[in-house]
């Protein structure tokens, strides 16, 4: 079967033939006619099967058939009619390069949008008018928020490597993108694995889709030789260097679990005399592009990568893939070794497994439904008495914990001002001087909103001493949390008046309470002339002292909070 028999026009077939392709792959034979029919499609295909051409070729064909009204003379009005979403920058660049190559003889324009580079050149390209856009979800949302892209007349949407996008936590971004697209459109979903999450996404996105499954669900490429090398965790790097040098390996793609691990391994291999560079999300886009280019042209012997960064690596004859660390997610193993054995070529996938990773290996073998052969390298026998250690989960790798993007950065809660030097932060107190959580809420402490469990005020030396032994004369009680609340609702409203009088603040904070047992709760015995505490204690005559029964009984009045103290 030839490409022209699939319904593709002469310009498209000519471009494909110039690239050296003479016959379509199995995924292309099924996907191209299905896409040309205009219906939705759910395709299960691993990397290296030719799936990119399986959807780009028919998309270009469909766009070219209806592009008569969008010639160069009407370039300013050229709408975006096809959108391809990919999980990573490298994959986006790779897909857009394929679009340009296949559409070489077509009057169609395309561009790629991803982060890590300036947004202004992308805006200018969109202003000039494009028919097809390849983008990562994050940067696409940036353009949508800035209204620099018009998708109101979109006809075709493609989710490439949808399983990886879900693994990286892009589901919220995808939903936000879908909400801004026209309801009437063709949807194409491609995935290497079919998880329950993928099925749920397909059910919500696709309408009566055609189903294509080239490879069995969650299987590894048949032409890839898989081997497990048991080794102690401390000798993994030494064994890797041994394998590369003794077996004369070139173009070796090595996977690590973390970005820090990738950097460290690349440095160690370089010290061992093996040319190596690391590629991951913390690297600049220029550094990632340069490392990938050197690896593809053979000047770089080893490329150390994390799962996410490796998604755009497309080398037809990549011979070796090494799992320096087994992935935490079994499906990632399928994606990793799918980098080799592409397009009918053979490949070798090697995994260095220590005692910590035995359970991860069991999960992988359960997923792929086969046991991976194991081989012990002489001189690198693992210690049978070694005890497994917990594996630290990877951080900042995306994953399912990725938070949804927002139009604005989430504001940080305001931090409380530090108390002045030598002063304790105010605390609410209840009976016995113990801090009350309920009253603490009433004081509206800012540091409680910070989520900081550490108190900034110094510890009170008398915090645990009973009232009868506490030197009240030396106490400096902070403001009461219930100072502004009606006396009838205070926590001590039902306490004996004598006891309340004994605990009165001697420094004039809070409302005064009568020491008269016959006085009603909440009676304010403060002098009407508003004299302060010292003036209250000064004699002004027998009649005046007698008018203050609280003073005669030893109780001390306090000005109310309304007095401004």
- Say if residue 130 is in the same domain as residue 248: no
Q: Which residue has the higher pLDDT, 48 or 339?
A: 339
What pLDDT shows up at residue 335? Answer: 80
Question: Is the same domain home to 495 and 563?
Answer: yes
Q: What is the mean pLDDT of the chain?
A: 75
In a domain, 385, yes or no: no
Mean pLDDT of 8-26: 91
Residue 54 lies in a domain: yes
Residue 539 in this model has a pLDDT that exceeds 50: no
pTM over 0.75: no
In this predicted structure, what is the pLDDT of residue 169? 83
Q: Read off the pLDDT of residues 79-93 as tens digits, 9 standing for 90 and up.
A: 899 999 999 888 899
Q: Which residues of 90-112 are buried (b: 16+ CB within 10 A; e: fewer)?
A: bbbbbbbebbbebbeebebbbbb
For the cut 50, the answer to whether the pLDDT of residue 471 exceeds it is no
CA angle 346, 351, 356 (to 5 degrees): 165
pLDDT at 118: 93
Mean pLDDT of 494-499: 46
Q: Using the predicted structure, report yes or no on whether residue 383 has a pLDDT greater than 80.
A: yes
Q: What is the pLDDT of residues 178-222, one digit of tens each?
A: 999 999 999 999 988 777 888 889 999 999 999 998 755 555 566
557: domain range?
429-449+465-565
| CATH code of the domain covering residue 197 | 3.40.50.300
Percent of the chain surpassing pLDDT 70:
64
How far, in Å, CA of 436 to CA of 446, rounded?
16
Q: What is the pLDDT of residue 391?
A: 81
Give which of 126, 153, 12, 149 is closest to 69, Cα–Cα.
153
Indicate if the pLDDT at residue 233 is higher than 70: yes
| Residue 190 and residue 42 in one domain | yes
Report how many domains make up the chain.
3
Distance (Å, whole) CA 458 – CA 125:
61
* 128-173 per-position pLDDT tens digit: 999 999 999 999 999 999 999 999 999 999 999 898 888 788 889 9
Rg value, the chain, Cα: 36
**Domain end residue (candidates: 333, 353, 368):** 368
């Amino acid at each position: 079967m030839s490409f022209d028999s699939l319904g593709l026009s002469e310009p498209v077939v000519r471009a494909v033939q110039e690239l050296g392709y003479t016959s379509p792959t199995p995924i292309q034979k099924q996907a191209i006619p299905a896409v040309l029919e205009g219906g939705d499609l759910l395709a299960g295909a691993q990397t290296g099967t030719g799936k990119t051409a399986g959807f780009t070729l028919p998309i270009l064909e469909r766009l070219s058939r209806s592009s008569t009204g969008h010639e160069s003379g009407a370039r300013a009005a050229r709408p975006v009619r096809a959108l391809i979403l990919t999980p990573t920058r490298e994959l986006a660049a790779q897909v857009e390069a394929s679009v340009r190559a296949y559409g070489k003889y077509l009057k169609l324009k395309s561009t790629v949008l991803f982060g890590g580079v300036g947004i202004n050149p992308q805006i200018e390209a969109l202003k000039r008018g494009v028919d097809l856009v390849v983008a990562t979800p994050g940067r696409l949302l940036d353009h949508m928020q800035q209204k620099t892209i018009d998708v109101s007349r979109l006809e075709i949407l493609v989710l490439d490597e949808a399983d990886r996008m879900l693994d990286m936590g892009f589901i919220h971004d995808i939903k936000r993108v879908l909400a801004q697209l026209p309801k009437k459109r063709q949807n194409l979903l491609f995935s290497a694995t079919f998880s329950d999450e993928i099925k749920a996404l397909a059910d919500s996105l696709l309408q009566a889709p055609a189903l294509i499954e080239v490879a069995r669900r969650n299987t590894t490429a048949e032409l890839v030789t898989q081997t497990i090398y048991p080794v102690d965790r401390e000798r993994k790097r030494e064994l890797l260097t041994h394998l590369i040098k003794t077996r004369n390996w070139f173009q070796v793609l090595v996977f690590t679990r973390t970005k820090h691990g990738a950097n460290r391994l690349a440095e160690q291999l370089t010290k061992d005399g093996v040319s190596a560079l690391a590629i991951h999300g913390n690297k600049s886009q220029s550094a990632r592009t340069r490392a990938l280019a050197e690896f593809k042209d053979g000047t770089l012997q080893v490329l150390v990568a994390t799962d996410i960064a490796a998604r755009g690596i497309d080398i037809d004859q990549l011979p070796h893939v090494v799992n320096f660390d087994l992935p935490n997610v079994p499906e990632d193993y399928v994606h990793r070794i799918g980098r080799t054995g592409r397009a009918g070529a053979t490949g070798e996938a090697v995994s260095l497994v220590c005692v910590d990773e035995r359970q991860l290996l069991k999960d992988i073998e359960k997923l792929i439904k086969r046991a991976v052969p194991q081989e012990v390298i002489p001189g690198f026998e693992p210690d049978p008495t070694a005890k497994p250690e917990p594996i630290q989960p990877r951080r900042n790798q995306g994953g399912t914990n990725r938070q949804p993007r927002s139009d604005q950065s989430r504001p940080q809660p305001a931090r409380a001002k530090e108390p002045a030097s030598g002063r304790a932060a105010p605390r609410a107190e209840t009976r016995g001087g113990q801090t009350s959580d309920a009253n603490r809420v009433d004081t509206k402490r800012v540091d409680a909103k910070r989520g900081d469990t550490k108190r900034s005020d110094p510890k009170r030396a008398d915090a645990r001493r009973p009232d009868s032994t506490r030197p009240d004369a030396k106490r400096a009680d902070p403001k009461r949390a219930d100072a502004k609340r009606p006396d009838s609702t205070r926590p001590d409203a039902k306490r004996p008046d004598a006891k309340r009088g004994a605990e009165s603040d001697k420094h004039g904070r809070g409302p005064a309470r009568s020491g008269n047992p016959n006085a009603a709760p909440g009676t304010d015995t403060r002098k009407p002339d508003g004299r302060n505490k010292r003036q209250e204690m000064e004699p002004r005559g027998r009649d005046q002292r007698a008018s203050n029964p609280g003073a005669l009984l030893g109780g001390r009045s306090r000005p109310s909070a309304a007095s401004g103290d």
